[in-house]
Chain A
Amino acid sequence: MTIRTLASTVAAAALVAATAASAEVDFSGETIEWVIPFSETGGSAKWANFFAPLLSEELPGNPTVVVKFMPGAGSTKGANWFQEQEHEDGTLMFGTSGSTQFPYLLGDPRVRYEYSDWVPVMASGTGGVAYLNAEDGKKFDGSANNLKDIDFIYGSQGATRLDLVPLLAWQMLGMNVEPVFGIKGRGDGRLMFERGEATIDYQTSSAYLGAAKDLVDAGTAVPMMTWGALDDDGNIVRDPTFPDIPTFKEVCEATEGCETSGEAWDAWKAFFIAGFPVQKIAFLPAGTPDDVRETYEAAFDAVRNRDDFAEIAAKRVGKYPVFVGEGAARATKEGTTVSADAKAFVTNWLQEAYGVSLN
């Protein structure tokens, strides 16, 4: 059973019961605080600001939903704070992203939070596309075989962030990609690519559609691969948003020396799931009773079932699949657990390739 099936079947069934049970929860005149452990300027802020007014319309009593920002220590500060919160009246919600999950998965010493204590009510994901500059793109034939002798430069936010997924993928393909660390966002990475300083880049789906696609159309960039999407059986398949672009899995299979099994592949896949298909999760604090949880689940379900949801979501936050209820719980579990082997492999690789030690 995978996330997808659960999202569509179990959750839907649970929600029928939820809607009935939640009749007593009423937020009239109240203010719901949705705390985001990032600054006002990031992607998570955009995500929460998109959902907040929609949620307000669907929750019983139409409470005001305000988004509050608590940035610090790469989101571990806010998450540590949320760990100490307990259910009071159901007016507190918290949102995490891949940047909160990765330190947790990698055993960052600042992490004092435990995902399994919290109550997930909604989860959503995204995809990603890697692309090359025009010159090197000519040598790309669906495999990385002709790219192995080229030195690439990549503007990166840090090897322990979401960039872990592309960096590990390129390494598995045998490509020589030198990351320039310390940029502040993927937008800066794209600018570096446009200036010709970086020669390889990746963007999340919505950012790719918004800006990088223009480069491809103009012939200055060549799409290389997507990270893919998960099908109902947990296999990596082509990203439905980009059906014409091969996935990393396909490119890996076509490339000499790249294996789609074994510890490197398992580790990559585990972190890919945490970073992309289950990137952002909305939580209620520990100890939240079922009726409150069900109220939120019903509201999020109503949001994603709005007639215009697909349309407005595509424009504002990208075509993300949205999981609620059991689906969100399952997604959270998938996105916040990696096997000990995968963790050991990645920690070791980070140490060897970039000298990053997390102690």
Chain B
Amino acid sequence: MDILATALPALGDAWALILQPVVLGYLVLGVVMGLAVGVFPGLGGIAGLSLLLPFMFGMEPVLGLALMIGMVAVVPTSDTFASVLMGIPGSSASQATVLDGFPLAKRGQAARALAAAFSSSLFGGLVGALFLTIFILVARPIVLAFGLPEMLMITILGLSMVAVLAGRVALKGLAAAGLGLMIGTIGEADAGGSLRMATYDIPYLTDGLKLVIVGLGIFAVPEIVSLLRQDRSIAKDAKLGAGWGAGVRDWFANKWLSVRCSLIGVLVGIIPGLGGSVVDWIAYGHSVQTTKDKSNFGKGEIRGVIGPESSNNAKEGGGLVPTLLFGIPGSGSMAIFIGAIALLGSGDIEVGPSMLRDNLDITYSIVWLLALANVVGTLLCIAASGGIARLTTIRFTYLAPFLFMLISFAAFQSGQNFEDLLALFVIGLIGIFLRRFDWSRPAFLIGFVLSNPVEKFSNQAFQIASFRFRKSFEEGMDYVFSPIVIVLIIVTVVSVVLGLRQAKSIMAEGDVQSGSKRAPLVFLLVISAYLVTALINAWLIPNFNLTDKIVPLVVGGIALTCCLIMLVQMMLRPETDVIFADKEVSGEDADAPYGLWSTLAWFAALIGLTFVVGFILALVGFMTAFLRVRAGASWQKTAILTAAGVALMCVMAGALNRDFPPGLLQDAVDLPWPLN
């Protein structure tokens, strides 16, 4: 009762603060700005919040909070547009959405998928806020109960989703995940600073690859290239099927799935250090496991959209707990949020342990502003989804240059290096071949995303565990096998067993035919060669930096073993076996009027031109040439579209104060913005 006695008045105060017209006005303003930023893949909340920072100084706290929260809250909602309509994962929150959302768009059901996603987001946001209102009061000890072994187990639970998404050949899925993990270890190790598959001569590699680039490369580039080769619209035959009403009904029919996934979202979001990277995969895995007929997953199953989308907005609410209670940001945007709160008003609100004691009303305002922003943002998005879905009926050749432009810009924003574009191209190439030979791309991405947490938590947990064991055996066992760990182990084992049984029916890449032996074999050999190189590279790290080499050695060893077993299988089995799956044998890609390399060359040309004359000039040349030559557009149409594309980039970058990749020309001559 004690808790209620303090909570209820604070909750009342919070609502009194929120429900002022001027506060709601700022909230809507923030939401609209967030939507504008969020539809651009790769920018997300960090860019938007940085834009707002200069205005926060001395601003009335509740107004500033409304503005910022409005912006942060809708980014995981609005990036659904890019992931469903174009197959571009805008942020880590929308990766799992791509798996079923984009196939739905291809079937002409984009509006339905969007509406279902938005309804789920809205609901997830509200469930999250409701849950937090009570939970935030008792959250502190629970958050502290999640030590390193617990976090490691959650990461492993996330990894175990590979079992569900491994595809028809489990070994291939496992190898893909292993490859993702290995690619994730590239760069300077967190623990000892050893370099893995990197050198100080190429500083770009020492930081490792960014999630945005890998996400775009693995999902977006292969889809764009494939659609472009087929020269069609995203929605087959340019027809739109079910409208947004159907999507809302879909959500209602699956409301309990939505409730469960929302709770998964809040709970995992609460744990600091994991952030959103595992939430949507766990939610996706849960959706698969609780669906009776699994045959549609990967081909456009609406439950595959509802699950992850319910969890990712709820996660934002959960992420508030470590942010507000401990002053430890759960994500990049939350880190800026903390910094911005210090600038508000007279700086009285201090995020951290004193937040609940001194500012419970503000805490509740933040929780419910987040929920309210979700409502406003979702309604705007649903209203827009019918119209925006028509994009999927446009001939793809007209969309492609804009998409190449967007993903290049997004990739560049992640590190502001020219190498970002090269990395996007190379990862894109890997993505294209993973897709072609039916290696699970989701498994690869899960591996990549969880690479750093797996390594960090296992090293740190091991170190502290051995320290405890030195004190006494019991203390060590208590630390490693806490009740939470045991529960998580059981959940993981059950999910792996169920997952492996189900994996065969989930074909993320559709039914891929097998054909000749040569191409799949060559790809396998190339992957194996990379793994061998990476293993040797890790082996050469001196032993006093064991923490930097142990994970690459173990993971690389497992992945290589999978590859070698597959090699033997390839030698023994006939060329019609599923292990030789190859999209170029038959199906949409094989029948496409354009070849892979000639299509990819356009993208390469954009990057090459950028290297020489900088991004904007390269864009003018690329779009003009592409629209004239590939799309066969008239000069007038070409000029209008090119101008529109360049103007869009300039307005966006100008407003957000972002730069474009410079080229050799810019090194030699000083040019005015945006040409510099």
Given A153-B464, A355-B542: A110 in contact with B342 (beta carbons within 8 A): no
Tell me if A72 and B191 are in contact (CB < 8 A). no
Report the bound CA distance from A316 to B342 in whole Å: 6
Tell me if B470 and A151 are in contact (CB < 8 A). yes
* Cβ contacts under 8 Å, B347 to chain A: 312, 315-316
Tell me if A45 and B339 are in contact (CB < 8 A). yes
Tell me if B54 and A53 are in contact (CB < 8 A). yes
B-contacting residues, A61-81, CB 8 Å = 64-73, 76-77, 80
A-contacting residues, B287-342, CB 8 Å = 326-329, 332, 335-336, 339-340, 342
Report the bound CA distance from A172 to B204 in whole Å: 37
Tell me if B192 and A356 are in contact (CB < 8 A). yes
One digit per residue, 1 when the CB lies within 8 angstroms of any chain A CB and 0 when it does not, for chain B 547-559 equals 1000000000000
Given A181-B190, A187-B328: A214 in contact with B467 (beta carbons within 8 A): no
Tell me if A211 and B326 are in contact (CB < 8 A). yes
Report the bound CA distance from A39 to B414 in whole Å: 10
Q: Which of A52, A158, A188, A194 contacts B193 (CB 8 A)?
A: A158
* Cβ contacts under 8 Å, B190 to chain A: 158, 181-182
Tell me if B203 and A73 are in contact (CB < 8 A). yes
Tell me if A40 and B336 are in contact (CB < 8 A). yes
A187 nearest in chain B by CB position: B328
Report the bound CA distance from A77 to B416 in whole Å: 11
Q: Which of A110, A160, A192, A356 contacts B203 (CB 8 A)?
A: A110
Report the bound CA distance from A354 to B191 in whole Å: 11
B411 to chain A, nearest CB (A): 15
Tell me if A187 and B327 are in contact (CB < 8 A). yes
One digit per residue, 1 when the CB lies within 8 angstroms of any chain A CB and 0 when it does not, for chain B 343-363 equals 100111010111000000000
Report the bound CA distance from A192 to B146 in whole Å: 10
Report the bound CA distance from A181 to B326 in whole Å: 21
A151 nearest in chain B by CB position: B467
* Cβ contacts under 8 Å, A194 to chain B: 144, 326
Report the bound CA distance from A155 to B467 in whole Å: 13
Report the bound CA distance from A20 to B237 in whole Å: 73
* Cβ contacts under 8 Å, B514 to chain A: none
Tell me if B203 and A181 are in contact (CB < 8 A). no
A355 nearest in chain B by CB position: B544
Tell me if A178 and B332 are in contact (CB < 8 A). no
Query: With an 8 A cutoff between CB atoms, is B561 at the interface?
Result: no
Query: With an 8 A cutoff between CB atoms, is A49 at the interface?
Result: yes
Tell me if B343 and A50 are in contact (CB < 8 A). yes
Which of B5-13, B225-233, B455-463, B519-527 lies at the binding interface?
A: B455-463
A-contacting residues, B35-65, CB 8 Å = 46, 49-50, 53-54, 57
One digit per residue, 1 when the CB lies within 8 angstroms of any chain B CB and 0 when it does not, for chain A 78-121 equals 00100000000000000000000000000001100000000000
Query: With an 8 A cutoff between CB atoms, is A197 at the interface?
Result: yes
* Cβ contacts under 8 Å, B346 to chain A: 312, 315
Tell me if A109 and B147 are in contact (CB < 8 A). no
B466 nearest in chain A by CB position: A178
Report the bound CA distance from A46 to B53 in whole Å: 10
Tell me if B545 and A77 are in contact (CB < 8 A). no
A146 to chain B, nearest CB (A): 18
A97 to chain B, nearest CB (A): 15
B174 to chain A, nearest CB (A): 26
Report the bound CA distance from A190 to B269 in whole Å: 19
Query: With an 8 A cutoff between CB atoms, is B417 at the interface?
Result: yes
Q: Which of B272, B335, B547 contacts A41 (CB 8 A)?
A: B335
Tell me if A188 and B273 are in contact (CB < 8 A). yes
A186 to chain B, nearest CB (A): 10
Interface size classification for chain B: 35 or more
Query: With an 8 A cutoff between CB atoms, is B575 at the interface?
Result: no
* Cβ contacts under 8 Å, A312 to chain B: 346-347
Tell me if B417 and A72 are in contact (CB < 8 A). yes
Tell me if B326 and A191 are in contact (CB < 8 A). yes
One digit per residue, 1 when the CB lies within 8 angstroms of any chain A CB and 0 when it does not, for chain B 177-199 equals 00000000000111111000000
Query: With an 8 A cutoff between CB atoms, is B148 at the interface?
Result: yes
Tell me if A109 and B459 are in contact (CB < 8 A). no
Report the bound CA distance from A50 to B326 in whole Å: 22
Report the bound CA distance from A224 to B132 in whole Å: 37
B385 to chain A, nearest CB (A): 31
Given A191-B326, A197-B464, A210-B352: A182 in contact with B459 (beta carbons within 8 A): yes
One digit per residue, 1 when the CB lies within 8 angstroms of any chain B CB and 0 when it does not, for chain A 341-359 equals 0000000000000111000
B625 to chain A, nearest CB (A): 32
B157 to chain A, nearest CB (A): 20
Tell me if B326 and A72 are in contact (CB < 8 A). no
Tell me if A178 and B463 are in contact (CB < 8 A). yes
Given A53-B57, A110-B203, A195-B147: A214 in contact with B342 (beta carbons within 8 A): no
Report the bound CA distance from A354 to B464 in whole Å: 17
Query: With an 8 A cutoff between CB atoms, is B476 at the interface?
Result: no
B541 to chain A, nearest CB (A): 10
Query: With an 8 A cutoff between CB atoms, is A10 at the interface?
Result: no
One digit per residue, 1 when the CB lies within 8 angstroms of any chain A CB and 0 when it does not, for chain B 200-227 equals 1001101100000000000000000000
Query: With an 8 A cutoff between CB atoms, is B657 at the interface?
Result: yes
Tell me if B460 and A76 are in contact (CB < 8 A). no
Query: With an 8 A cutoff between CB atoms, is B415 at the interface?
Result: yes
* Cβ contacts under 8 Å, B339 to chain A: 41, 45-46, 49
Tell me if A72 and B327 are in contact (CB < 8 A). no
* Cβ contacts under 8 Å, B54 to chain A: 49, 52-53, 64-66
Q: Which of B193, B273, B332 contacts A356 (CB 8 A)?
A: B193
Report the bound CA distance from A71 to B207 in whole Å: 10
* Cβ contacts under 8 Å, A356 to chain B: 192-193
Query: With an 8 A cutoff between CB atoms, is A13 at the interface?
Result: no
Tell me if A182 and B335 are in contact (CB < 8 A). no
B-contacting residues, A20-67, CB 8 Å = 39-42, 45-46, 49-50, 52-53, 64-67
Report the bound CA distance from A219 to B353 in whole Å: 15
Tell me if A188 and B335 are in contact (CB < 8 A). no
Tell me if B57 and A191 are in contact (CB < 8 A). no
A residues with a Cβ closer than 8 A to B are 39-42, 45-46, 49-50, 52-53, 64-73, 76-77, 80, 109-110, 151, 153, 155, 158, 160, 178, 180-183, 185, 187-188, 190-192, 194-197, 210-211, 214, 312, 315-316, 354-356
B residues with a Cβ closer than 8 A to A are 46, 49-50, 53-54, 57, 144, 146-148, 188-193, 200, 203-204, 206-207, 272-273, 326-329, 332, 335-336, 339-340, 342-343, 346-348, 350, 352-354, 415-417, 456, 459-460, 463-464, 467, 470, 542, 544-545, 547, 657
- 7 inter-chain pairs at a CB distance below 8 angstroms, sorted by A residue, are A45-B336, A68-B657, A72-B203, A72-B207, A153-B464, A182-B190, A210-B352
In the complex, the 10 A-B pairs of residues with the closest C-beta atoms, listed nearest first: A41-B335, A355-B544, A315-B347, A182-B190, A181-B191, A182-B191, A187-B328, A53-B57, A214-B353, A211-B352
16 more contacts with CB within 8 A, not counting A67-B53, A178-B467, A214-B352, are A41-B335, A41-B339, A49-B340, A53-B54, A73-B206, A110-B206, A181-B191, A182-B189, A182-B460, A194-B326, A195-B144, A197-B464, A211-B353, A214-B354, A312-B347, A315-B347
